[in-house]
Chain A
């Protein structure tokens, strides 16, 4: 009996010692969007890799709602113990704080930015019947028919919308923004020719461009997209300095202990560099980012927040 008690005590001390070595229990990986979208898919690609590296289950939890703010807020308000991580995206961390009347978290101070996972360019695509074959021709067309062209986007304040507004500003043209509930119905109207153009993300546009359903005119990044190397950038096409990407990365509540931050950053980057993850992401038109360290990521988020504060204001997308 005494021996049994002693054994039990030994086991108890051993497990309490183990509890101090992170990670001692499963991690939850919050995705602020419904399942099936690109952010969710990339989280579900990463989760098994992190699980293998950390030796603990990593459970993906979808917390959609309020443009991603509900899920981001869950992460922000969790204990910074390394057991809650989440995807933070351009919408939750750069656009929404400027677009929405109030956001329940501070995108910079409430988060430890662990690793930027994906940057996807947007592509300017037009319906096949639009006569313009290049950005210059499109600008000329828009100037001869002011207010006659429509551009679709997945929602008010989406990157597709803001890219369109920036395009209008830089070219001095006037086109009408048609917002949809998600990208799918917007693409349907683009395919049918009811709207003439759209700034769609590369992942969704790529198959349609390759199949000739729509015509791509340019990418929105400074560098050409590896998936479409022949497609010029907007910057090359006369819109100097036009640079927009859709991005998302792994974040945790602040302040996360430095050793856990370093470990998670290393594991996420290692997982991203694994060939099968790389090929799967590339198949969806997603590329890893040059931003690698947590500090670089924080600086990147801050810069993006600034850029979109300016763009949202200029676009008039913010409701009163």
Chain B
């Protein structure tokens, strides 16, 4: 078995004391920046880039990867404890994870997030080891038409994210789409809705909107209810998930892992979608969808597994094709190129130690993360016992530091505050932020891919639904249509109400 020979080679590389050390440094740093709201892996890796110049390329790559998937772990901690999605992937974790924390079940939520992430990380590592090249081929099959249809499906599914009124959810999706239009039009270079503010030329950052609408809003809403917060934090009972929790979580973890592993390989928003997709699926298949948004453990287990699996498999297009699927992967390519290693299909054959060493280190890093994080849960819970009047100013400061570090621009802090105020208005109007965020992410991607597909086909719209030429796109649109039917058909209306309106 060649795979085992290769993996054995990788294990030997990863377990050398030097690489072991850099893996540990990477995951530690990753956890830390993941926990700090807004400070993401991109500025961290950029800062550490010069240090890696003098490192062995394998050690450098192992450390930088550790920072990346470590931050995916850490991100869920802040999402659950203080309702703050520091990373794109943790937006969905906020929905049920923070509700669990409010019910005094922060411990089980954190533990399930860690266990789910560990399992997903291990599976995704195996996926990379056994199937990276063929999966990269699949990723290449995704052109503009396929992306567009995938986004349509995602948008239809977005309404499931809400647990209030369907009409308000749709309104928020549309508002998200409109906000996503701000910035430079890709095709013509025209500035849209920028009001001659140069800082708006690239649109509004996703992290800024998410931190404003979840984080700032949460703080304002908390300050409104005097003293209550300390009360609900006092009733933390057990730290670890009960048998019942585990029984409810294993299937979501499996499904999340599968979804994340697949969507992660798609460059261009795939990994970002995985946690949203996992949440949608869990709510759809759940026997008690009414609990979602109110602290359902499935709503933590599925998306957390999915985002970690997605983070891992997003290495596939980078390692096998040299195409970065996200900003972190672009940095990794920069780190490799400066070492004189050109990422691409030849890495696997020319530098087997690097390729397999990295894969083995991912498993090692995931194991380290779970060992590090499970004992930390007790400490994180203690953090909640800090009186809120001390906690919220520090959270606000960290958020501002984090948002500023995105592009060293004070404008971004201002925008976060604006979205915080807007988010508070939405809370008062009982409009939920999650559908808006999804619309905001998907809108620009959809428009871009729609127009690119039409440009490539010279205006022939059949590229989206021609089952012979574009079977992938066709099936996505079919699935979207089916989902729409579930929502719209009157004879299953009762079921829809169960799914969407739980108030």
**Contact in complex: B407, A65 (CB < 8 Å):** yes
A residues 46-91 in Cβ contact with B at 8 Å: 47-48, 61-67, 69-70, 73
**Contact in complex: B455, A37 (CB < 8 Å):** no
**Contact in complex: B143, A70 (CB < 8 Å):** no
**Contact in complex: A36, B327 (CB < 8 Å):** yes
- Per the bound structure, the CA–CA distance linking A263 and B13 in Å amounts to 45
A191 within 8 A of B: yes
Identify which of B49, B140, B337, B448 contacts A35 (C-beta below 8 A): B49
Identify which of B45, B323, B452, B455 contacts A184 (C-beta below 8 A): B323
A211 within 8 A of B: yes
Pick out which of these stretches binds chain A: B29-37, B194-202, B356-364. Answer: B194-202
**Contact in complex: B268, A185 (CB < 8 Å):** yes
**Contact in complex: B338, A283 (CB < 8 Å):** yes
B393 within 8 A of A: no
- Per the bound structure, the CA–CA distance linking A34 and B346 in Å amounts to 27
B456 within 8 A of A: yes
Give the interface centre of A44, A47, A318 by most chain B CB atoms within 10 Å.
A44
- Per the bound structure, the CA–CA distance linking A195 and B342 in Å amounts to 23
A interface residues (Cβ-Cβ under 8 A, vs B):
34-38, 40-41, 44-45, 47-48, 61-67, 69-70, 73, 99-101, 104, 147, 150, 155-157, 176, 178-181, 184-185, 187-189, 191-192, 194-195, 203, 206-208, 210-211, 213, 279-280, 283-284, 317-319
Instruction: Write the nearest CB–CB distance from A126 to chain B, whole angstroms.
Output: 16
B residues 386-407 in Cβ contact with A at 8 Å: 407
Instruction: Write the nearest CB–CB distance from A63 to chain B, whole angstroms.
Output: 5
- Per the bound structure, the CA–CA distance linking A48 and B49 in Å amounts to 12
**Contact in complex: B334, A36 (CB < 8 Å):** yes
Instruction: Write the nearest CB–CB distance from B197 to chain A, whole angstroms.
Output: 10
B331 within 8 A of A: yes
Identify which of A47, A63, A210 contacts B409 (C-beta below 8 A): A63
Given A157-B189, A188-B140, A319-B188, do A47 and B50 touch, yes or no (CB 8 Å)? yes
Nearest 5 pairs of A and B residues by beta carbon: A207-B342, A35-B46, A283-B340, A66-B201, A36-B331
**Contact in complex: A40, B338 (CB < 8 Å):** no
- Per the bound structure, the CA–CA distance linking A101 and B194 in Å amounts to 13
B333 within 8 A of A: yes
Instruction: Write the nearest CB–CB distance from B445 to chain A, whole angstroms.
Output: 9
- Per the bound structure, the CA–CA distance linking A252 and B203 in Å amounts to 28
A-B contacts, 20 of them at CB < 8 A, read A35-B46, A35-B49, A41-B338, A61-B408, A63-B407, A64-B202, A65-B199, A66-B199, A155-B189, A181-B448, A184-B267, A184-B323, A188-B139, A188-B317, A208-B322, A210-B342, A280-B338, A319-B185, A319-B189, A319-B190
Hey, which chain B residues are within 8 Å of A203, CB to CB?
337
- Per the bound structure, the CA–CA distance linking A44 and B187 in Å amounts to 32
Given A69-B198, A179-B187, A188-B267, do A62 and B408 touch, yes or no (CB 8 Å)? yes
- Per the bound structure, the CA–CA distance linking A319 and B408 in Å amounts to 29
Give the interface centre of A64, A65, A104 by most chain B CB atoms within 10 Å.
A65
Nearest-neighbor residue (CB-CB) of B445 within chain A: A181
Instruction: Write the nearest CB–CB distance from B364 to chain A, whole angstroms.
Output: 25
**Contact in complex: A178, B452 (CB < 8 Å):** yes
Hey, which chain A residues are within 8 Å of B408, CB to CB?
61-63
Given A207-B342, A207-B343, A284-B338, do A195 and B331 touch, yes or no (CB 8 Å)? no
Number of A-B contacts (CB under 8 A): 150
- Per the bound structure, the CA–CA distance linking A283 and B190 in Å amounts to 36
One digit per residue, 1 when the CB lies within 8 angstroms of any chain A CB and 0 when it does not, for chain B 38-73 equals: 000011011001100100000000000000000000
**Contact in complex: A284, B187 (CB < 8 Å):** no
B495 within 8 A of A: no
Identify which of A45, A195, A207 contacts B346 (C-beta below 8 A): A207
- Per the bound structure, the CA–CA distance linking A50 and B334 in Å amounts to 21
**Contact in complex: A36, B452 (CB < 8 Å):** no
Instruction: Write the nearest CB–CB distance from A138 to chain B, whole angstroms.
Output: 19
- Per the bound structure, the CA–CA distance linking A124 and B361 in Å amounts to 38
One digit per residue, 1 when the CB lies within 8 angstroms of any chain A CB and 0 when it does not, for chain B 291-326 equals: 000000000000000000000000001000111110
**Contact in complex: A206, B456 (CB < 8 Å):** no
Hey, which chain B residues are within 8 Å of A188, CB to CB?
139-140, 267-268, 317, 321, 323
Nearest-neighbor residue (CB-CB) of B332 within chain A: A36
Hey, which chain A residues are within 8 Å of B143, CB to CB?
189, 192, 194
B residues 125-152 in Cβ contact with A at 8 Å: 139-141, 143-144
- Per the bound structure, the CA–CA distance linking A317 and B184 in Å amounts to 13
- Per the bound structure, the CA–CA distance linking A155 and B184 in Å amounts to 10
**Contact in complex: B53, A40 (CB < 8 Å):** no
Instruction: Write the nearest CB–CB distance from B3 to chain A, whole angstroms.
Output: 22
Give the interface centre of A35, A101, A195, A319 by most chain B CB atoms within 10 Å.
A35
- Per the bound structure, the CA–CA distance linking A62 and B49 in Å amounts to 13
Identify which of B43, B334, B339, B409 contacts A37 (C-beta below 8 A): B334
B156 within 8 A of A: no
Hey, which chain B residues are within 8 Å of A34, CB to CB?
42, 327, 407
Hey, which chain B residues are within 8 Å of A41, CB to CB?
49, 334, 337-338
**Contact in complex: A280, B144 (CB < 8 Å):** no
- Per the bound structure, the CA–CA distance linking A36 and B328 in Å amounts to 9
**Contact in complex: A156, B46 (CB < 8 Å):** no
Hey, which chain B residues are within 8 Å of A40, CB to CB?
46, 334
- Per the bound structure, the CA–CA distance linking A101 and B192 in Å amounts to 13
- Per the bound structure, the CA–CA distance linking A20 and B202 in Å amounts to 40
Nearest-neighbor residue (CB-CB) of A182 within chain B: B330
**Contact in complex: A36, B409 (CB < 8 Å):** no
B467 within 8 A of A: no
Nearest-neighbor residue (CB-CB) of A178 within chain B: B455
Hey, which chain B residues are within 8 Å of A279, CB to CB?
340
Identify which of A35, A73, A211 contacts B42 (C-beta below 8 A): A35
- Per the bound structure, the CA–CA distance linking A181 and B446 in Å amounts to 13
Nearest-neighbor residue (CB-CB) of B44 within chain A: A35
Hey, which chain A residues are within 8 Å of B407, CB to CB?
34, 62-65
Instruction: Write the nearest CB–CB distance from B332 to chain A, whole angstroms.
Output: 8
B344 within 8 A of A: yes
With contacts A188-B323, A211-B342 known, what are 13 further pairs, Cβ within 8 A?
A36-B45, A65-B409, A66-B201, A67-B201, A70-B198, A104-B198, A156-B186, A178-B452, A185-B267, A192-B140, A211-B345, A318-B189, A319-B189
